[in-house]
């Protein structure tokens, strides 16, 4: 065991200037900026105007060589472990560590994750602040506790700390490729897609449904909730339904979605519309849907009825490969990675991730 803080203790508590040194260290806890996860928001909260932690002489600072405190904020991943260790090693003595967040203590909600470390194995910790996230008050209490510890002359880590062997801690050999464990996914092979009529106490909606049934007798029209109407149709009548809705005052497309029903070799294309111009229709959303063949997924475009369909159709084309006939932008790729084909289809093969730990110097 090597007590890496032995020199700190001597420095702060030795000589005639010991009280001055302790006083100076107590009121000059400068924390290095090392925000590693969402706990960092609580750090920002603690140091912002509401709590103003700077009142206690603690201040976040950007240069690690001019800081003497690390506030480890939650998760430290294997990739980040070296950065944490290097930062700590670059800081001048005497230096201190406060660790906040459940993730930093025992992994928190990532307790069984393949990439999580226990930061207290990488740097010696003076105070732990539990919580997910911990409160700003908790962090400030830890700073105050550390100050008291410095004042009492006990400014040393409370754990005996060995020199960290990162390769051992990270459980991997440098330079060797590793694959993360597979997540325990459970996928229902034949998920049920259920859209059912529901009788609702909605007079305007029931009248609207009757009216639509008269206009589009070839489709199934029903309410699913207050302000929600569903229309089941097919590719042949899809556009006719759209025109009937437009003539009722539905003037824009809210969304177009595709549901991939792999086990039945079909897609369901759903379009939801509403109105900005007819007051009674404003809260109403009508969704009309058509099933199409998954091997030849084609359906008419609605861009000549509602311009707002354009973006959504392009997106669904890129994600699922559905061809919206008549949309002038079909065939263009708007994805950030245009070489990727239909990434949201259920049979899309994901690339297997792997990682390599760099040689630690």
Q: Is there binding between residue 39 and ligand SF4 (CB under 6 A)? A: yes
Identify the residue among 6, 20, 86, 109 touching ligand SF4 (CB under 6 A). Answer: 109
Contacting range for ligand SF4; rule: CB under 6 A; set: 98-106, 158-166, 185-193, 269-277: 98-106
Identify the residue among 94, 119, 124, 133 touching ligand SF4 (CB under 6 A). Answer: 133
Q: Is there binding between residue 119 and ligand SF4 (CB under 6 A)? A: no
Q: Is there binding between residue 138 and ligand SF4 (CB under 6 A)? A: no
Q: How far is the CB of 44 from ligand SF4 (least distance, A)?
A: 12
108 close to 74: Cβ distance less than 8 angstroms: yes
Q: Is there binding between residue 38 and ligand SF4 (CB under 6 A)? A: yes
164 close to 117: Cβ distance less than 8 angstroms: no
Write the DSSP string, 169-205. HTTS-TT-EE-PPPP-----SS----------S-HHH
- Nearest CB to ligand SF4, comparing residues 39 and 97: 39
Q: How far is the CB of 36 from ligand SF4 (least distance, A)?
A: 8
The beta-strand segments (E) located in 186-330 are 220-225, 228-234, 252-261, 266-274, 285-293, 298-300, 323-325
The backbone torsions φ and ψ at residue 323, rounded to the nearest 5 degrees and listed phi first, read -95, 115
Closest CB to ligand SF4 belongs to which residue?
74
Q: How far is the CB of 139 from ligand SF4 (least distance, A)?
A: 11
Question: CA end-to-end span of the chain, whole Å?
Answer: 21
CA 188 to chain centre: 24
Q: How far is the CB of 253 from ligand SF4 (least distance, A)?
A: 37
| Separation CA 175–CA 354 (nearest Å) | 12
Give SS3 for 225. strand
Contacting range for ligand SF4; rule: CB under 6 A; set: 103-111, 250-258, 294-302, 303-311: 103-111
Q: Is there binding between residue 99 and ligand SF4 (CB under 6 A)? A: no
Number of residues that bind ligand SF4 (CB under 6 A): 12
Q: How far is the CB of 38 from ligand SF4 (least distance, A)?
A: 3
Write the DSSP string, 36-91. -STHHHHHHHHHSTTT-GGGGTEEEES-GGG--EEEEES--BHHHHHHHHHHHHHS
- Which residues make Cβ contacts (< 8 Å) with residue 36, sequence separation at least 6? 72, 73, 74, 75, 76, 77, 80, 84
Q: Is there binding between residue 108 and ligand SF4 (CB under 6 A)? A: yes
Q: Is there binding between residue 35 and ligand SF4 (CB under 6 A)? A: no
256 close to 309: Cβ distance less than 8 angstroms: yes
Dihedral angle sign, alpha carbons of residues 23, 24, 28, 29 = negative
Q: Is there binding between residue 136 and ligand SF4 (CB under 6 A)? A: no
Quick note: the x/- pattern for ligand SF4 over 69-88, rule CB under 6 A, is -----xx-------------
Q: How far is the CB of 72 from ligand SF4 (least distance, A)?
A: 10
Contacting range for ligand SF4; rule: CB under 6 A; set: 7-15, 34-42, 186-194, 218-226: 34-42
Binding residues for ligand SF4, rule: CB under 6 A, are: 37-39, 74-75, 101-103, 108-109, 132-133
């Amino acid at each position: 065991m090597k007590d890496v803080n032995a020199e700190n203790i001597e420095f702060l508590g030795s000589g005639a200037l010991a009280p001055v040194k302790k006083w100076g260290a107590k009121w000059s806890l400068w924390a290095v900026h090392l925000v590693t996860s969402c706990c960092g928001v609580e750090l920002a909260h603690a140091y912002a105007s509401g709590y103003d932690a700077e009142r206690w002489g603690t201040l976040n600072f950007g240069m690690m060589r001019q800081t003497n405190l690390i506030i480890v904020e939650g998760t430290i991943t294997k990739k980040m472990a070296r950065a944490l260790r290097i930062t700590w090693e670059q800081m001048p003595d005497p230096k201190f560590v406060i660790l906040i967040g459940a993730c930093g203590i025992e992994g928190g909600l990532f307790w069984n994750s393949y990439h999580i470390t226990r930061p207290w194995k990488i740097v010696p910790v003076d105070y732990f602040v539990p919580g997910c996230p911990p409160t700003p008050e908790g962090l400030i209490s830890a700073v105050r506790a550390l100050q008291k510890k410095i004042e009492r002359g006990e400014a040393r880590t409370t754990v005996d700390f060995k020199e960290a062997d990162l390769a051992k801690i990270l459980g991997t050999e440098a330079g060797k490729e590793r694959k993360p464990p597979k997540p325990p996914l459970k996928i229902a092979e034949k998920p049920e897609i259920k859209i059912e009529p529901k009788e609702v106490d909605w007079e305007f909606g029931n009248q609207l449904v009757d009216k639509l049934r008269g206009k589009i007798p070839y489709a199934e029209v029903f309410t699913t909730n207050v302000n929600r109407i569903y229309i089941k149709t097919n590719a042949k009548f899809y556009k006719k339904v759209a025109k009937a809705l437009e003539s009722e005052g539905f003037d824009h497309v809210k969304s177009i979605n595709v549901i991939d029903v792999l086990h039945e070799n079909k897609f369901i294309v759903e379009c939801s519309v509403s109105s900005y111009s007819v007051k009674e229709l404003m809260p109403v959303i009508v969704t009309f849907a058509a099933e199409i063949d998954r091997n030849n997924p084609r359906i008419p475009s609605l861009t000549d009825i509602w311009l707002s369909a354009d973006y959504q159709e392009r997106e669904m084309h890129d994600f699922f490969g559905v061809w919206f006939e008549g949309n002038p932008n079909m065939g263009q790729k708007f994805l950030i990675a245009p070489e990727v084909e239909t990434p949201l289809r259920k049979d899309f093969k994901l690339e297997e991730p792997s990682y390599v730990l760099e040689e630690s110097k």
